[in-house]
Structure 1
């Protein structure tokens, strides 16, 4: 990995004007701003705009229309952006790169692709990911304080919200993308606060728990963002912030030490269980995570699937379950040695002589739901004493609705087969792949 990598700042959000305002404030000599407009993606093209400066400091704008073989967001950015990042790094006067993302692009899978997807067959470059030459310095989320909570708790798809054509096959929801803009951010720019004081307070309580360490810059018409304000915001990013790093299914679920108390009805609910979940009862129980909940995430020990954890993730009214990778108890000694030492240490503290590190752990961010109802409902899905006594041979005979990839509503479920984590409705660069030892 190169020592002197070019820093990259990723700016993401549903409001393209806010994203543009932040990126424009950073567009000083030495900084290159890159934006891919995906409005014509369904017609097989996208527009790339690069904002730069010449040797005299005069601004330059280069616009390129790019024809695509197919309309996959992930593939489109892989094929154009990743080689571009490596090329910009080679320019001596480029001191920083700013990626002003289209509203359709989630920052987490993009950052994962920068660090992991190999760029090959580029003349003069060693094959490897763009992360050889660039590093994510920060992710800035641009949030509309008046509308974000409604977006993050609804169940409309991007197409239903008008961000994609009605017949588009992209089934991501507004909530999934809105939550990702905040949860993955190292810093936030918040504008247009809710007029109602109660709604503004609830928004603040949610953000404080979803991105507890992210410094926040409040933007108003009287106080638009400036270069100095953005630089101060970036300087306030915590030294140990994620900076584009994806977390795995077996990493701590409460990173950043978010507040655990109730504020305006907003609260983090933790559910843990040291016995497996009954697949049928769990399938019914997870509906409690779809009403009055901002988001939830966690790993599941399902009785019929003893070898691998399942990864549950919800945002608003949408939920999906996919593989979370094998338990340590199923690995060889060499495989365990390749796992993160923190994971191995934490697992040793709760190691069971028969079940090893298997457990269920879920965190739920509620804004209207009853925390006690969630805990009781999930608890009722755990095996009873009699079911525990029956053992794995009996559990293996139970019907398992999670034997195929699950996404609510159930009619949308698709087989996992050999697709693994890539069968989810996110791009094929889903960071869960990186969690496998």
Structure 2
């Protein structure tokens, strides 16, 4: 971090449920031992009734408030309370650091995106603008329960079914569990007293999901102390993401994850220079629901030749959505404004017929046969005759049945950070890594 950066550092701590939630509170309490550290926690358990409980602690002093949110949504909590509060606290000379102990319904990625992009207005003495002008993300920590996390990350239970969200929130526990770890700069694994082989398997998953994130293993949340948490933060690499949100065209393999198999855990890549047939792909995607922790990547659909399609799965849930046009489908003006790194990478694999269109997926397997997954996805690709038809008569290909033809739109306003839904099968929803992120 640049030493001249005078913005107030923010540590974001996430954990999905159970002992992990207790770990969040304990880690925040441990960090509060450093003078000038403020901790903020929003209890969203009453969100469906439009009520949010907010607690702010500094030293031994604590203030609590009950907030009424007319819209009863997570993004409204961010926009109306948390972001202005961050700006207000950052303006105080007595505040050295801010710690956000997130409710399970909050997603760290959405919080960091909001800090960086949502305009905060109405704060006395402050010019309107994003909270990131006043604060910076020092670290994102994720607490997980080591004996249950892998089961949560590969299941299909919804947050509502688990009692962690309102009935109309169709995000899954797997989405939250995987997303929290994937976005973390460091991980606290709680309760490792069970089967040592299962711990090693979890370690193999973490090494591939977040290869650069330091991990500390502790027996329970009571074992977390100030020195241990501060030491964990100090181990975070200088180039860690620290709240950065990557778009659909960023590298799919971050850091240097092991590419070999370990305790049945494998990180496999699937790449192709021809598109998927949409109907066959819809059938083939079932292979991603069993024995797979997560899959993500860019897809080329025969029926949507101009659109980059983003796929992201977590356990038994999947979302597919648009992520903007391929470079080959852009106008000259759009090309000139495209990310230079993306253009440089596309130039290395540019095809005279199809430009930068291709398929690139990364799949983290823990209890499935990578060969079977590869075979199913290869079967879903267009055949030679279908590829020639795409070149000769694209208007006929556009009439093929396409289960991915209409993207789901979210109820909140465009651009607002939300916890996006994950369908329980091969459904569609807006990707969290689409355009604008």
TM-score by length of 2: 0.91
| Residue 403 of structure 2, aligned match among 401, 404, 411 | 401
Match of 1:298 in 2: 297
Q: Which residues of structure 1 form unaligned runs of 5+?
A: 54-58, 406-413
Question: 1:65 deviation in Å?
Answer: 0.8
Match of 1:99 in 2: 100
- How many pairs are equivalent? 419
Listed as ranges, the matches of 1:338-417 within 5 Å are 338-391=337-390, 392-405=394-407, 414=408
Question: 1:234 deviation in Å?
Answer: 0.8
Deviations along 1:248-269, one digit per CA (max 9) or x if unpaired, are: 1111100112111001111011
Deviations along 1:267-326, one digit per CA (max 9) or x if unpaired, are: 011101101111111111111111110010011100111111111000000001011111
Please state whether the residue corresponding to 1:432 is helix, strand or coil: coil
| Residue 36 of structure 1, aligned match among 42, 52, 62 | 42
Please state whether the residue corresponding to 2:171 is helix, strand or coil: coil
Distance of aligned partners of 1:185 and 1:243 in 2 relative to their CA distance in 1, 3 Å threshold: same
CA distance in 1, matches of 2:75, 2:338: 28
CA distance in 2, matches of 1:160, 1:314: 19
CA distance in 2, matches of 1:42, 1:417: 15
Match of 1:210 in 2: 209
Match of 2:320 in 1: 321
Question: 1:194 deviation in Å?
Answer: 5.4
* Mapped contact 2:321–2:430 kept (Cα < 8 A): no
Root-mean-square deviation (CA), in Å?
2.2
| Higher mean C-alpha displacement, 80-89 vs 214-223 | 214-223
CA distance in 1, matches of 2:289, 2:66: 41
* Mapped contact 1:253–1:298 kept (Cα < 8 A): yes
Distance of aligned partners of 1:340 and 1:361 in 2 relative to their CA distance in 1, 3 Å threshold: same
* Mapped contact 1:205–1:266 kept (Cα < 8 A): yes
Listed as ranges, the matches of 1:90-239 within 5 Å are 90-165=91-166, 168-193=167-192, 195-221=194-220, 224-239=223-238
CA distance in 2, matches of 1:29, 1:429: 40
Distance of aligned partners of 1:238 and 1:197 in 2 relative to their CA distance in 1, 3 Å threshold: same
Distance of aligned partners of 1:221 and 1:151 in 2 relative to their CA distance in 1, 3 Å threshold: closer
CA distance in 2, matches of 1:107, 1:220: 24
Please state whether the residue corresponding to 2:197 is helix, strand or coil: helix
CA distance in 1, matches of 2:30, 2:103: 17
Question: 1:3 deviation in Å?
Answer: 4.6
Deviations along 1:221-247, one digit per CA (max 9) or x if unpaired, are: 597111111111111101110100111
CA distance in 2, matches of 1:278, 1:416: 26
CA distance in 1, matches of 2:174, 2:159: 9
- Runs of 4+ aligned structure 1 residues displaced above 6 Å come to 415-423, 426-429
CA distance in 1, matches of 2:434, 2:389: 33
Distance of aligned partners of 1:362 and 1:48 in 2 relative to their CA distance in 1, 3 Å threshold: same
CA distance in 2, matches of 1:47, 1:70: 15
CA distance in 1, matches of 2:340, 2:49: 47
CA distance in 2, matches of 1:420, 1:124: 29
Match of 2:81 in 1: 80
Please state whether the residue corresponding to 2:165 is helix, strand or coil: coil
Match of 2:26 in 1: 21
